Amino acid sequence: MNPSRKGIARPKQYLMLEGKPVLAWTLDFFQNLKEVDEIILVVSESHIENTKNEIVVPFGFDKVKKIIPGGAERQDSVLQGLIHCADEADVILVHDAARPFPPTESVQEAIISAFAGIGGVLGIPTPDTIKQIDEHMNVVKTLDRDQLIAVQTPQVFPAAMLKMAFEMATRDQFQGTDEAMIMENADFPVRIFPGSRSNIKITIPEDLTFAEAFAKSIGSK
């Protein structure tokens, strides 16, 4: 058992949060964001039908144009999403389903920047001191936290650049932990936009408790 995930057995995006699934809260955000024209959901194949029948249709998320199966890794799943994006898409946002409360103004700022040719990610300064260690758990050095950012989603990039970066990564068999890393590998610029403490990724039970409190503060839609 992975103790960090103890208490969350179902996929976190399907957990109930103030009367509706986490994923429904997340989709609410993008359904109501005027800059978004279409949503492509990438989920495990076993959850396609229940995602459609229990979330997309009942909640009226008509911007969801496709629900497709993902791959073994995040990079594989994002690649599948890119393949199914509309050819006329100018900007692509990649977002974690378990982050239900992105900050609107920062997302819009990132979209404007991507239309101008420079994409980026949401991020927040790390409040903790970060130590670099070796394989024996010995401290190598203390990193300057003023130069460190904890990255969030959405990650927002010009569509053509993002697709090109993924093509290069596939060709070179490069594996990145997020889309920004794929873009960095292709030497494309990546800018940081202000994230938010409320833009939490629900991973452990304590995260769900925080999300419930935040959902109550803004009111269920």
**For every residue of 101-114, which 3-state class applies, written as one string?**
CCCHHHHHHHHHHH
Q: Where are the domains of the chain?
A: 12-218
- What order of strands is seen across the sheet that includes strand 91-94? 91-94, 149-158, 119-125, 190-194
pLDDT tens digits for range 158-183 = 999 999 999 999 999 999 999 999 99
44: alpha, beta or left? (left if phi > 0; alpha if psi -120 to 50):
beta
pLDDT of 82 above 60: yes
pLDDT of 22 above 70: yes
Is the separation of the CB atoms in 55 and 74 below 8 Å? no
Whole-number pLDDT of residue 218: 81
pLDDT tens digits for range 107-118 = 999 999 999 999
What is the rounded CA–CA span in Å between residue 213 and residue 18? 9
Contacts (Cβ under 8 Å, ≥6 apart) of 75: 166, 169, 175, 176, 182
pLDDT-above-90 percentage for the chain: 84
Class of the 12-218 domain?
alpha beta
Whole-number pLDDT of residue 9: 52
pTM, rounded to two decimals: 0.90
pLDDT tens digits for range 174-218 = 999 999 999 999 999 999 999 999 999 998 888 888 899 998 888
Whole-number pLDDT of residue 6: 38
